[in-house]
Chain A
Amino acid sequence: MLSVEDLSISFGGLAALGALSFEVAEREIFALIGPNGAGKSTVFNIVTGLYRPSAGRVRFRGEDLLALAPHRIARRGIARTFQNTEVFRQLTTLDNVLIGRHALLRAGFLRGALGLPAVWREEAAARAGARALLARVGLADAAGVQAGSLPLGAQKRLEIARALAAEPKLLLLDEPAGGLNPTETQTLMELIRGLRDAEGLTVLVVEHDMELVMGISDRVVVLNYGRKISSGSPREIAADPAVIEAYLGSEEA
Protein backbone atom coordinates (compact mmCIF):
# COMPACT_ATOMS: atom_id res chain seq x y z
CA MET A 1 0.00 0.00 0.00
CA LEU A 2 2.80 2.39 0.96
CA SER A 3 6.16 1.84 -0.60
CA VAL A 4 9.28 3.75 0.26
CA GLU A 5 12.24 3.24 -2.04
CA ASP A 6 15.82 4.36 -1.57
CA LEU A 7 14.81 7.38 0.43
CA SER A 8 17.63 9.78 1.31
CA ILE A 9 17.60 13.18 2.91
CA SER A 10 20.17 15.24 4.73
CA PHE A 11 20.05 18.34 6.87
CA GLY A 12 23.07 20.58 6.56
CA GLY A 13 25.43 17.77 5.66
CA LEU A 14 23.97 15.34 8.19
CA ALA A 15 22.44 12.33 6.43
CA ALA A 16 19.18 11.80 8.31
CA LEU A 17 18.05 8.99 5.99
CA GLY A 18 20.24 6.88 3.73
CA ALA A 19 18.69 4.80 0.96
CA LEU A 20 15.83 3.62 3.14
CA SER A 21 13.35 1.17 1.61
CA PHE A 22 10.36 -0.63 3.08
CA GLU A 23 6.87 -1.54 2.07
CA VAL A 24 3.71 -1.49 4.16
CA ALA A 25 0.96 -3.87 3.13
CA GLU A 26 -2.76 -3.19 3.28
CA ARG A 27 -4.28 -3.79 6.76
CA GLU A 28 -0.91 -4.16 8.36
CA ILE A 29 0.27 -2.70 11.64
CA PHE A 30 3.80 -1.73 10.81
CA ALA A 31 6.27 -0.33 13.33
CA LEU A 32 9.24 1.90 12.68
CA ILE A 33 11.64 1.90 15.61
CA GLY A 34 15.14 3.01 16.40
CA PRO A 35 17.14 5.12 18.80
CA ASN A 36 16.64 8.88 19.13
CA GLY A 37 17.58 10.75 15.99
CA ALA A 38 17.42 7.60 13.85
CA GLY A 39 15.18 9.34 11.30
CA LYS A 40 11.75 7.93 12.15
CA SER A 41 9.86 11.21 12.30
CA THR A 42 11.70 12.30 9.19
CA VAL A 43 10.09 9.40 7.33
CA PHE A 44 6.66 10.64 8.44
CA ASN A 45 7.50 14.17 7.38
CA ILE A 46 8.50 12.99 3.93
CA VAL A 47 5.47 10.75 3.48
CA THR A 48 3.13 13.59 4.46
CA GLY A 49 4.86 16.05 2.15
CA LEU A 50 6.49 18.35 4.71
CA TYR A 51 10.05 17.42 3.71
CA ARG A 52 11.39 16.82 0.24
CA PRO A 53 13.91 13.96 0.03
CA SER A 54 17.10 14.37 -1.98
CA ALA A 55 16.56 10.97 -3.56
CA GLY A 56 14.10 8.12 -3.59
CA ARG A 57 10.44 7.49 -4.16
CA VAL A 58 7.31 7.28 -2.05
CA ARG A 59 4.26 5.59 -3.54
CA PHE A 60 0.83 5.23 -2.04
CA ARG A 61 -1.40 2.75 -3.85
CA GLY A 62 0.79 3.24 -6.89
CA GLU A 63 0.66 7.03 -6.87
CA ASP A 64 3.81 9.12 -6.49
CA LEU A 65 3.38 11.11 -3.27
CA LEU A 66 6.43 13.28 -3.78
CA ALA A 67 4.60 15.16 -6.52
CA LEU A 68 1.79 16.15 -4.16
CA ALA A 69 1.36 19.04 -1.73
CA PRO A 70 0.73 18.10 1.93
CA HIS A 71 -3.01 18.83 1.84
CA ARG A 72 -3.38 16.68 -1.28
CA ILE A 73 -1.59 13.80 0.38
CA ALA A 74 -4.03 14.11 3.28
CA ARG A 75 -6.91 13.95 0.82
CA ARG A 76 -5.55 10.73 -0.65
CA GLY A 77 -6.27 9.05 2.67
CA ILE A 78 -3.16 9.51 4.79
CA ALA A 79 -3.61 10.99 8.27
CA ARG A 80 -1.05 11.45 10.99
CA THR A 81 -0.32 12.46 14.54
CA PHE A 82 2.72 14.39 15.72
CA GLN A 83 5.45 13.41 18.13
CA ASN A 84 5.39 16.75 19.93
CA THR A 85 1.63 17.16 19.48
CA GLU A 86 0.31 19.78 17.13
CA VAL A 87 -3.19 20.23 18.49
CA PHE A 88 -5.00 23.48 17.68
CA ARG A 89 -4.33 24.74 21.18
CA GLN A 90 -6.79 27.57 21.55
CA LEU A 91 -9.67 25.66 19.99
CA THR A 92 -11.95 23.18 21.69
CA THR A 93 -11.28 19.48 21.31
CA LEU A 94 -14.51 19.24 19.32
CA ASP A 95 -13.30 21.87 16.84
CA ASN A 96 -9.96 20.07 16.62
CA VAL A 97 -11.71 16.90 15.49
CA LEU A 98 -14.02 18.83 13.14
CA ILE A 99 -10.98 20.33 11.42
CA GLY A 100 -9.70 16.80 10.96
CA ARG A 101 -12.81 16.22 8.88
CA HIS A 102 -12.18 19.32 6.73
CA ALA A 103 -11.60 17.46 3.48
CA LEU A 104 -14.78 15.40 3.77
CA LEU A 105 -17.12 18.32 4.46
CA ARG A 106 -18.75 19.95 1.47
CA ALA A 107 -19.81 23.39 2.74
CA GLY A 108 -17.72 25.87 0.78
CA PHE A 109 -17.21 29.50 1.64
CA LEU A 110 -20.36 30.91 0.02
CA ARG A 111 -22.73 28.19 1.16
CA GLY A 112 -21.29 28.53 4.64
CA ALA A 113 -21.72 32.31 4.65
CA LEU A 114 -25.32 31.99 3.50
CA GLY A 115 -25.96 29.38 6.18
CA LEU A 116 -28.06 27.19 3.88
CA PRO A 117 -30.01 24.41 5.62
CA ALA A 118 -27.83 21.74 3.99
CA VAL A 119 -24.80 23.33 5.64
CA TRP A 120 -26.30 23.06 9.13
CA ARG A 121 -27.40 19.48 8.48
CA GLU A 122 -23.87 18.62 7.47
CA GLU A 123 -22.52 20.44 10.55
CA ALA A 124 -24.84 18.59 12.89
CA ALA A 125 -23.82 15.23 11.46
CA ALA A 126 -20.13 16.17 11.60
CA ARG A 127 -20.49 17.25 15.23
CA ALA A 128 -22.16 14.01 16.18
CA GLY A 129 -19.40 12.08 14.42
CA ALA A 130 -16.72 14.17 16.12
CA ARG A 131 -18.25 13.53 19.55
CA ALA A 132 -18.28 9.81 18.84
CA LEU A 133 -14.60 9.95 17.94
CA LEU A 134 -13.81 11.88 21.12
CA ALA A 135 -15.62 9.18 23.08
CA ARG A 136 -13.63 6.56 21.29
CA VAL A 137 -10.33 7.99 22.51
CA GLY A 138 -11.67 8.58 26.00
CA LEU A 139 -12.32 12.32 25.69
CA ALA A 140 -16.12 12.22 25.72
CA ASP A 141 -16.32 14.68 28.61
CA ALA A 142 -13.79 17.08 27.16
CA ALA A 143 -15.65 18.22 24.02
CA GLY A 144 -15.76 21.87 25.11
CA VAL A 145 -12.30 22.00 26.64
CA GLN A 146 -9.48 24.04 25.08
CA ALA A 147 -7.12 21.52 23.54
CA GLY A 148 -4.01 23.29 24.80
CA SER A 149 -5.12 22.88 28.40
CA LEU A 150 -5.26 19.08 28.19
CA PRO A 151 -2.43 16.96 29.61
CA LEU A 152 0.01 15.59 27.07
CA GLY A 153 -1.48 12.10 27.00
CA ALA A 154 -4.93 13.49 26.27
CA GLN A 155 -3.52 15.70 23.51
CA LYS A 156 -1.99 12.61 21.93
CA ARG A 157 -5.34 10.85 21.98
CA LEU A 158 -7.03 13.96 20.64
CA GLU A 159 -4.66 13.89 17.68
CA ILE A 160 -5.69 10.31 16.98
CA ALA A 161 -9.36 11.34 17.00
CA ARG A 162 -8.56 14.26 14.69
CA ALA A 163 -6.68 11.96 12.31
CA LEU A 164 -9.52 9.43 12.32
CA ALA A 165 -12.05 12.15 11.49
CA ALA A 166 -10.57 12.23 7.99
CA GLU A 167 -11.50 8.56 7.54
CA PRO A 168 -7.97 7.72 6.39
CA LYS A 169 -6.78 4.53 4.76
CA LEU A 170 -3.32 4.85 6.24
CA LEU A 171 -2.74 6.19 9.72
CA LEU A 172 0.71 7.41 10.78
CA LEU A 173 1.21 7.54 14.55
CA ASP A 174 4.36 9.22 15.86
CA GLU A 175 5.02 7.98 19.40
CA PRO A 176 1.34 7.68 20.35
CA ALA A 177 2.20 6.18 23.76
CA GLY A 178 4.46 9.08 24.75
CA GLY A 179 3.04 10.58 27.93
CA LEU A 180 0.59 7.74 28.48
CA ASN A 181 0.63 5.59 31.62
CA PRO A 182 0.68 1.76 31.29
CA THR A 183 -3.12 1.41 31.53
CA GLU A 184 -3.63 4.10 28.92
CA THR A 185 -1.08 2.36 26.73
CA GLN A 186 -3.06 -0.86 26.96
CA THR A 187 -6.21 0.99 25.92
CA LEU A 188 -4.30 2.57 23.07
CA MET A 189 -3.09 -0.83 21.86
CA GLU A 190 -6.65 -2.11 21.82
CA LEU A 191 -7.76 0.98 19.93
CA ILE A 192 -5.09 0.53 17.26
CA ARG A 193 -5.87 -3.16 16.89
CA GLY A 194 -9.55 -2.34 16.63
CA LEU A 195 -8.91 0.21 13.90
CA ARG A 196 -7.21 -2.43 11.80
CA ASP A 197 -9.51 -5.33 12.62
CA ALA A 198 -12.86 -3.55 12.48
CA GLU A 199 -12.18 -0.79 10.01
CA GLY A 200 -9.43 -2.19 7.86
CA LEU A 201 -7.02 0.66 8.49
CA THR A 202 -3.35 0.32 7.78
CA VAL A 203 -1.20 1.70 10.60
CA LEU A 204 2.39 2.84 10.48
CA VAL A 205 3.57 3.51 14.02
CA VAL A 206 6.75 5.01 15.44
CA GLU A 207 7.17 4.10 19.08
CA HIS A 208 9.79 3.70 21.79
CA ASP A 209 7.46 1.74 24.07
CA MET A 210 8.56 -1.82 23.28
CA GLU A 211 5.55 -3.37 24.91
CA LEU A 212 3.35 -1.61 22.39
CA VAL A 213 5.62 -2.39 19.48
CA MET A 214 5.94 -6.07 20.39
CA GLY A 215 2.27 -6.33 21.29
CA ILE A 216 0.57 -4.99 18.20
CA SER A 217 2.86 -4.88 15.20
CA ASP A 218 2.88 -7.40 12.40
CA ARG A 219 6.22 -6.26 11.11
CA VAL A 220 8.95 -3.95 12.33
CA VAL A 221 11.71 -2.00 10.61
CA VAL A 222 14.59 -0.83 12.77
CA LEU A 223 16.47 2.33 11.86
CA ASN A 224 19.78 3.55 13.15
CA TYR A 225 21.42 6.73 11.84
CA GLY A 226 18.97 6.78 8.97
CA ARG A 227 19.70 3.27 7.78
CA LYS A 228 17.67 0.12 8.04
CA ILE A 229 19.56 -2.26 10.30
CA SER A 230 16.90 -4.91 10.67
CA SER A 231 13.38 -5.86 9.72
CA GLY A 232 10.96 -8.70 10.33
CA SER A 233 8.41 -9.85 12.87
CA PRO A 234 8.67 -8.41 16.41
CA ARG A 235 10.13 -11.74 17.54
CA GLU A 236 12.78 -11.71 14.83
CA ILE A 237 13.99 -8.20 15.44
CA ALA A 238 14.03 -8.67 19.20
CA ALA A 239 16.51 -11.48 18.69
CA ASP A 240 18.67 -9.62 16.17
CA PRO A 241 22.12 -8.78 17.64
CA ALA A 242 22.40 -5.70 15.42
CA VAL A 243 19.23 -4.28 16.99
CA ILE A 244 20.33 -5.04 20.52
CA GLU A 245 23.63 -3.38 19.87
CA ALA A 246 22.08 -0.28 18.35
CA TYR A 247 19.89 0.21 21.39
CA LEU A 248 22.54 -0.55 23.97
CA GLY A 249 25.06 1.57 22.13
CA SER A 250 22.77 4.54 21.97
CA GLU A 251 21.61 4.20 25.54
CA GLU A 252 25.11 4.22 26.88
CA ALA A 253 26.22 7.11 24.73
Chain B
Amino acid sequence: MRRAALGAGSALLLLWPFLVPRYFVFLTSLVVVNAIVAIGLNLLSGYTNQLSFGHAGFFAVGAYVAAVLTLRAPGVPVVATLVLAGLATALVGLALGIPCLRLEGLYLAMATLAFGFVVVEAIQNLDWLTRGNDGVAVPTAHLGPLALASDAAKYYLVLGVGALMVAAAVNITRTRTGRALLAIRESEIAAQASGVHLAAYRTLAFAVSAFYTGVAGGLFAFVVGFISPDAFDVFLSVDFVAMIIIGGLGSIPGSVVGAAVITLLYDWLAAFQNYRPLLFGLILIGCMLFMPGGIASRMPKWTQQAQ
Protein backbone atom coordinates (compact mmCIF):
# COMPACT_ATOMS: atom_id res chain seq x y z
CA MET B 1 0.00 0.00 0.00
CA ARG B 2 2.68 2.41 1.08
CA ARG B 3 4.95 1.53 -1.83
CA ALA B 4 2.15 1.73 -4.40
CA ALA B 5 1.04 5.11 -3.09
CA LEU B 6 4.59 6.44 -3.07
CA GLY B 7 5.16 5.21 -6.64
CA ALA B 8 1.94 6.71 -7.96
CA GLY B 9 2.55 9.96 -6.11
CA SER B 10 6.10 10.29 -7.44
CA ALA B 11 4.98 9.62 -11.02
CA LEU B 12 2.24 12.22 -10.73
CA LEU B 13 4.64 14.81 -9.30
CA LEU B 14 7.19 14.16 -12.06
CA LEU B 15 4.60 14.51 -14.82
CA TRP B 16 2.81 17.41 -13.17
CA PRO B 17 4.10 20.23 -15.43
CA PHE B 18 2.78 18.31 -18.47
CA LEU B 19 -0.64 17.79 -16.92
CA VAL B 20 -1.68 21.13 -15.50
CA PRO B 21 -1.58 24.82 -16.50
CA ARG B 22 1.54 26.86 -15.71
CA TYR B 23 -0.01 28.63 -12.78
CA PHE B 24 -0.64 25.36 -10.98
CA VAL B 25 2.96 24.38 -11.54
CA PHE B 26 4.00 27.61 -9.85
CA LEU B 27 1.50 27.01 -7.05
CA THR B 28 2.79 23.49 -6.49
CA SER B 29 6.31 24.88 -6.19
CA LEU B 30 5.04 27.18 -3.44
CA VAL B 31 3.41 24.22 -1.70
CA VAL B 32 6.71 22.34 -1.66
CA VAL B 33 8.63 25.42 -0.48
CA ASN B 34 6.17 25.87 2.38
CA ALA B 35 6.28 22.15 3.14
CA ILE B 36 10.04 22.43 3.69
CA VAL B 37 9.48 25.32 6.10
CA ALA B 38 6.71 23.43 7.88
CA ILE B 39 8.97 20.42 8.34
CA GLY B 40 11.71 22.64 9.74
CA LEU B 41 9.31 24.41 12.07
CA ASN B 42 7.78 21.13 13.16
CA LEU B 43 11.19 19.73 14.11
CA LEU B 44 11.55 22.70 16.44
CA SER B 45 8.01 23.25 17.72
CA GLY B 46 6.24 19.95 17.21
CA TYR B 47 9.13 17.67 18.11
CA THR B 48 11.07 19.67 20.65
CA ASN B 49 8.27 21.88 21.94
CA GLN B 50 10.06 25.15 21.24
CA LEU B 51 7.45 27.52 19.85
CA SER B 52 8.59 29.93 17.15
CA PHE B 53 6.70 32.87 15.72
CA GLY B 54 9.78 34.09 13.89
CA HIS B 55 10.24 31.65 11.05
CA ALA B 56 9.45 34.30 8.46
CA GLY B 57 12.74 35.80 9.66
CA PHE B 58 14.70 32.64 8.83
CA PHE B 59 12.82 32.38 5.55
CA ALA B 60 13.85 35.95 4.70
CA VAL B 61 17.49 35.32 5.59
CA GLY B 62 17.58 32.30 3.25
CA ALA B 63 15.82 34.21 0.47
CA TYR B 64 18.12 37.23 0.68
CA VAL B 65 21.33 35.19 0.94
CA ALA B 66 20.32 33.26 -2.18
CA ALA B 67 19.22 36.39 -4.04
CA VAL B 68 22.25 38.53 -3.18
CA LEU B 69 24.65 35.65 -3.83
CA THR B 70 23.14 35.04 -7.26
CA LEU B 71 23.38 38.77 -8.03
CA ARG B 72 26.97 39.16 -6.89
CA ALA B 73 28.33 35.78 -7.98
CA PRO B 74 26.24 34.60 -10.93
CA GLY B 75 28.56 31.66 -11.62
CA VAL B 76 27.74 29.79 -8.43
CA PRO B 77 25.54 26.75 -9.20
CA VAL B 78 22.10 26.95 -7.67
CA VAL B 79 22.58 23.89 -5.48
CA ALA B 80 25.62 25.48 -3.83
CA THR B 81 23.66 28.73 -3.42
CA LEU B 82 20.86 26.89 -1.65
CA VAL B 83 23.25 25.01 0.64
CA LEU B 84 24.93 28.31 1.52
CA ALA B 85 21.55 29.94 2.13
CA GLY B 86 20.68 27.05 4.44
CA LEU B 87 23.99 27.15 6.28
CA ALA B 88 23.91 30.93 6.73
CA THR B 89 20.40 30.66 8.12
CA ALA B 90 21.45 27.79 10.40
CA LEU B 91 24.16 30.08 11.82
CA VAL B 92 21.53 32.73 12.46
CA GLY B 93 19.44 29.96 14.05
CA LEU B 94 22.31 29.12 16.39
CA ALA B 95 22.79 32.78 17.24
CA LEU B 96 19.12 32.97 18.19
CA GLY B 97 18.75 29.49 19.64
CA ILE B 98 21.65 29.46 22.08
CA PRO B 99 20.63 32.57 24.03
CA CYS B 100 17.03 31.30 23.89
CA LEU B 101 17.88 27.98 25.58
CA ARG B 102 16.69 29.32 28.89
CA LEU B 103 13.37 30.50 27.51
CA GLU B 104 10.24 28.43 27.34
CA GLY B 105 6.71 28.69 26.08
CA LEU B 106 5.42 32.22 25.85
CA TYR B 107 8.84 33.81 26.45
CA LEU B 108 10.41 31.88 23.62
CA ALA B 109 7.45 32.75 21.40
CA MET B 110 8.00 36.46 22.21
CA ALA B 111 11.75 36.26 21.56
CA THR B 112 11.25 34.60 18.17
CA LEU B 113 8.52 37.08 17.31
CA ALA B 114 10.96 39.90 18.03
CA PHE B 115 13.58 38.15 15.92
CA GLY B 116 11.19 38.23 12.97
CA PHE B 117 10.79 42.01 13.31
CA VAL B 118 14.54 42.50 13.64
CA VAL B 119 15.21 40.63 10.39
CA VAL B 120 12.70 42.75 8.44
CA GLU B 121 14.17 45.89 10.00
CA ALA B 122 17.68 44.79 9.08
CA ILE B 123 16.71 44.09 5.47
CA GLN B 124 15.12 47.53 5.22
CA ASN B 125 18.19 49.25 6.62
CA LEU B 126 21.01 47.35 4.91
CA ASP B 127 19.98 48.80 1.58
CA TRP B 128 23.49 48.77 0.11
CA LEU B 129 23.18 44.98 0.26
CA THR B 130 19.45 44.28 0.11
CA ARG B 131 18.16 47.35 -1.72
CA GLY B 132 15.87 48.00 1.24
CA ASN B 133 12.18 48.43 0.59
CA ASP B 134 12.71 48.47 -3.20
CA GLY B 135 13.25 44.73 -3.14
CA VAL B 136 15.50 42.54 -5.23
CA ALA B 137 14.78 41.06 -8.63
CA VAL B 138 16.28 37.61 -8.34
CA PRO B 139 18.35 36.54 -11.38
CA THR B 140 17.68 33.21 -13.04
CA ALA B 141 19.23 30.25 -11.29
CA HIS B 142 21.77 28.15 -13.15
CA LEU B 143 22.47 24.49 -12.78
CA GLY B 144 25.62 23.82 -14.83
CA PRO B 145 24.71 24.88 -18.37
CA LEU B 146 20.97 24.89 -17.61
CA ALA B 147 19.16 28.15 -16.95
CA LEU B 148 16.18 27.46 -14.71
CA ALA B 149 13.96 30.16 -16.14
CA SER B 150 10.59 28.50 -16.78
CA ASP B 151 8.06 27.64 -14.10
CA ALA B 152 8.53 23.98 -14.95
CA ALA B 153 12.33 24.14 -14.57
CA LYS B 154 11.98 25.89 -11.22
CA TYR B 155 9.39 23.32 -10.22
CA TYR B 156 11.80 20.45 -10.85
CA LEU B 157 14.50 22.20 -8.82
CA VAL B 158 12.07 22.71 -5.94
CA LEU B 159 10.75 19.16 -6.23
CA GLY B 160 14.24 17.63 -6.20
CA VAL B 161 15.42 19.64 -3.23
CA GLY B 162 12.10 19.09 -1.47
CA ALA B 163 12.25 15.32 -1.95
CA LEU B 164 15.75 15.18 -0.49
CA MET B 165 14.75 17.27 2.50
CA VAL B 166 11.60 15.29 3.18
CA ALA B 167 13.59 12.05 3.01
CA ALA B 168 16.23 13.41 5.37
CA ALA B 169 13.57 14.57 7.82
CA VAL B 170 11.86 11.19 7.75
CA ASN B 171 15.21 9.52 8.43
CA ILE B 172 16.01 11.90 11.27
CA THR B 173 12.65 11.39 12.94
CA ARG B 174 12.83 7.62 12.63
CA THR B 175 16.20 7.32 14.27
CA ARG B 176 18.09 8.32 17.38
CA THR B 177 18.06 12.10 16.87
CA GLY B 178 14.33 12.35 16.28
CA ARG B 179 13.54 10.21 19.30
CA ALA B 180 15.79 12.38 21.46
CA LEU B 181 13.87 15.48 20.33
CA LEU B 182 10.54 13.84 21.11
CA ALA B 183 11.85 12.66 24.47
CA ILE B 184 12.67 16.27 25.40
CA ARG B 185 9.15 17.30 24.48
CA GLU B 186 7.60 14.49 26.53
CA SER B 187 9.71 14.65 29.70
CA GLU B 188 12.89 16.61 30.18
CA ILE B 189 13.94 14.76 33.31
CA ALA B 190 13.38 11.33 31.81
CA ALA B 191 15.21 12.40 28.66
CA GLN B 192 18.22 13.48 30.72
CA ALA B 193 18.08 10.30 32.76
CA SER B 194 18.30 8.43 29.45
CA GLY B 195 21.49 10.27 28.55
CA VAL B 196 20.00 12.93 26.27
CA HIS B 197 21.94 16.21 26.40
CA LEU B 198 19.07 18.70 26.53
CA ALA B 199 20.94 21.84 25.53
CA ALA B 200 22.74 20.12 22.65
CA TYR B 201 19.55 18.73 21.14
CA ARG B 202 17.58 21.93 21.67
CA THR B 203 20.34 23.84 19.90
CA LEU B 204 20.51 21.25 17.14
CA ALA B 205 16.75 21.56 16.64
CA PHE B 206 17.14 25.32 16.21
CA ALA B 207 19.97 24.95 13.71
CA VAL B 208 18.24 22.24 11.65
CA SER B 209 14.95 24.12 11.70
CA ALA B 210 16.70 27.27 10.49
CA PHE B 211 18.59 25.30 7.83
CA TYR B 212 15.36 23.88 6.39
CA THR B 213 13.69 27.27 6.46
CA GLY B 214 16.74 28.97 4.91
CA VAL B 215 16.89 26.52 2.01
CA ALA B 216 13.15 26.99 1.50
CA GLY B 217 13.68 30.77 1.53
CA GLY B 218 16.31 30.40 -1.19
CA LEU B 219 13.95 28.32 -3.32
CA PHE B 220 11.20 30.85 -2.72
CA ALA B 221 13.42 33.65 -4.05
CA PHE B 222 13.99 31.74 -7.30
CA VAL B 223 10.37 30.65 -7.66
CA VAL B 224 8.80 34.09 -7.26
CA GLY B 225 11.70 36.00 -8.87
CA PHE B 226 11.28 39.10 -6.73
CA ILE B 227 11.59 39.57 -2.98
CA SER B 228 11.03 42.54 -0.71
CA PRO B 229 10.88 42.87 3.07
CA ASP B 230 7.10 43.18 3.25
CA ALA B 231 6.73 39.58 2.03
CA PHE B 232 8.27 38.33 5.28
CA ASP B 233 6.05 39.96 7.86
CA VAL B 234 4.75 38.41 11.06
CA PHE B 235 1.65 37.07 9.31
CA LEU B 236 3.87 34.75 7.33
CA SER B 237 5.28 33.37 10.60
CA VAL B 238 1.73 32.82 11.78
CA ASP B 239 0.91 31.03 8.52
CA PHE B 240 3.83 28.67 9.12
CA VAL B 241 2.60 27.89 12.63
CA ALA B 242 -0.90 27.34 11.23
CA MET B 243 0.52 24.82 8.76
CA ILE B 244 1.97 22.59 11.45
CA ILE B 245 -1.01 22.89 13.77
CA ILE B 246 -3.44 21.97 11.00
CA GLY B 247 -1.11 19.31 9.62
CA GLY B 248 -0.16 17.83 12.97
CA LEU B 249 2.54 18.65 15.51
CA GLY B 250 5.28 16.05 15.45
CA SER B 251 4.46 14.63 12.04
CA ILE B 252 6.46 14.99 8.81
CA PRO B 253 3.63 13.87 6.47
CA GLY B 254 1.34 16.18 8.45
CA SER B 255 3.72 19.09 7.84
CA VAL B 256 3.49 18.55 4.08
CA VAL B 257 -0.30 18.27 4.10
CA GLY B 258 -0.65 21.30 6.38
CA ALA B 259 1.57 23.33 4.04
CA ALA B 260 -0.54 22.29 1.06
CA VAL B 261 -3.82 23.17 2.78
CA ILE B 262 -2.69 26.63 3.89
CA THR B 263 -0.94 27.48 0.63
CA LEU B 264 -3.93 26.51 -1.52
CA LEU B 265 -6.38 28.19 0.81
CA TYR B 266 -4.33 31.36 0.67
CA ASP B 267 -4.41 31.19 -3.09
CA TRP B 268 -8.17 30.67 -3.28
CA LEU B 269 -8.76 33.47 -0.83
CA ALA B 270 -6.49 35.89 -2.67
CA ALA B 271 -9.55 37.90 -3.68
CA PHE B 272 -10.70 38.16 -0.08
CA GLN B 273 -7.47 39.41 1.48
CA ASN B 274 -9.31 41.20 4.26
CA TYR B 275 -11.05 38.10 5.53
CA ARG B 276 -7.95 35.97 5.55
CA PRO B 277 -6.98 36.45 9.21
CA LEU B 278 -10.58 35.82 10.24
CA LEU B 279 -10.84 32.61 8.26
CA PHE B 280 -7.44 31.37 9.39
CA GLY B 281 -8.37 32.09 12.96
CA LEU B 282 -11.59 30.11 12.62
CA ILE B 283 -9.81 27.20 10.99
CA LEU B 284 -7.12 27.16 13.67
CA ILE B 285 -9.62 27.29 16.52
CA GLY B 286 -11.73 24.60 14.89
CA CYS B 287 -8.67 22.45 14.38
CA MET B 288 -7.48 22.82 17.96
CA LEU B 289 -10.97 22.05 19.30
CA PHE B 290 -12.00 19.19 17.06
CA MET B 291 -8.76 17.74 15.69
CA PRO B 292 -6.01 18.46 18.21
CA GLY B 293 -3.63 16.02 16.49
CA GLY B 294 -4.07 17.83 13.18
CA ILE B 295 -4.77 16.14 9.86
CA ALA B 296 -1.97 13.67 10.57
CA SER B 297 -4.08 12.11 13.31
CA ARG B 298 -6.77 11.32 10.73
CA MET B 299 -4.48 9.99 8.02
CA PRO B 300 -4.47 6.22 7.38
CA LYS B 301 -1.98 4.11 9.29
CA TRP B 302 0.32 3.40 6.36
CA THR B 303 1.17 7.08 5.97
CA GLN B 304 2.52 7.23 9.52
CA GLN B 305 6.22 6.87 9.94
CA ALA B 306 6.13 4.54 12.89
CA GLN B 307 6.89 1.13 11.52
Contacts from A to B (Cβ < 8 Å): 48-50, 69-71, 74-75, 79-80, 82, 86-92, 95, 98-100, 102-103, 105, 107-109, 112-115, 119, 123, 144, 162-163, 166
14 contacts between A and B (CB under 8 A): A71-B192, A71-B197, A79-B194, A82-B189, A86-B187, A95-B179, A98-B179, A102-B194, A103-B195, A107-B176, A109-B204, A112-B176, A114-B168, A115-B168
- 8 Å CB contact of B182 from A70, A82, A95, A123: A95
Task: Decide: A99 and B191 in contact? CB cutoff 8 A.
Answer: yes
Known: A112-B172, A112-B177, A114-B168. A92 touches B194 (CB 8 A): no
List 19 additional A-B contacts (Cβ < 8 Å) besides A91-B182, A107-B175, A109-B204: A50-B192, A70-B189, A71-B196, A74-B195, A79-B194, A82-B189, A86-B190, A87-B186, A99-B180, A103-B194, A103-B195, A107-B177, A112-B172, A112-B178, A113-B168, A113-B169, A114-B171, A119-B171, A144-B306
List of B residues within 8 angstroms of A103 by Cβ? 194-195
B260 interface residue per 8 A CB criterion: no
Chain B, Cβ-Cβ closest to A97: B194
Which residues of the other chain, A, contact B306 by a CB distance below 8 angstroms? 92, 95, 144
A55 CA / B250 CA spacing, docked (Å): 42
Q: Which residues of B contact A69 (CB under 8 A)?
A: 192, 197
What are the residues of chain B within 8 A of A99 when measuring CB–CB?
A: 179-180, 182-183, 191, 194, 196
CB of B193 within 8 A of chain A? yes
Residues of A within 8 A of B208 (CB): 109
Say if the beta carbon of B238 comes within 8 Å of chain A. Answer: no
Which residue from chain B places its CB closest to the CB of A148 in the assembled complex? B186
B196 and A102 within 8 A (CB): yes
List residues of B whose CB falls within 8 A of some A CB: 167-169, 171-172, 174-180, 182-183, 186-187, 189-198, 204, 208, 250, 306
Minimum Cβ distance to chain A for residue B153 (Å): 27
In the complex, the chain B residue whose C-beta lies closest to that of A81 is B193
Contact residues in B for A92 (Cβ distance below 8 Å): 306
| Dominant secondary structure of chain B at its interface with chain A | helix
Q: How far is the CB of A116 from chain B (nearest CB, A)?
A: 9
Chain A residues with Cβ below 8 Å from B198 are 71
Question: Quick check: A79 and B179 within 8 Å, CB to CB?
Answer: no
Q: B171 to A102, Cβ gap below 8 A?
A: no
Contacts of A123 in B (CB 8 A): 174-175
Contact A86 B180 (CB under 8 A): no
C-alpha gap A86/B195 in the complex (Å):
15
Q: Specify which chain B residues have a CB less than 8 angstroms from the CB of A115 in the assembled complex.
A: 167-168, 171, 175
| Chain B residues within an 8 Å CB radius of A144 | 306
CB proximity of A163 to chain B, nearest CB, Å: 8
Q: Is the CB of B189 within 8 A of A86?
A: yes
Please state if A88 and B180 are interface contacts (CB–CB under 8 Å).
Answer: no
Residue on A with the closest CB to B192? A70
Q: Which of B175, B179, B190, B197 contacts A119 (CB 8 A)?
A: B175
Q: What's the least CB distance linking A119 to chain B, in Å?
A: 6
Query: What residue of chain B has the Cβ atom nearest to residue A76's Cβ?
Result: B195
Top 4 closest pairs, chain A to chain B, by CB: A103-B195, A88-B186, A86-B190, A70-B192
Nearest-Cβ distance from residue B213 to partner chain A, whole angstroms: 16
B168 to chain A, nearest CB (A): 4
Q: Closest CB-CB distance, B39 to chain A, in whole Å?
A: 12
Which single residue of chain B is at the shortest CB-CB distance from A49?
Answer: B192
A82 touches B195 (CB 8 A): no
Of all chain A residues, the one with the shortest Cβ separation from B182 is A91
Contact between chains at B168 and A88 (CB < 8 Å):
no
In angstroms, how far is the closest chain B Cβ from the Cβ of A97?
10
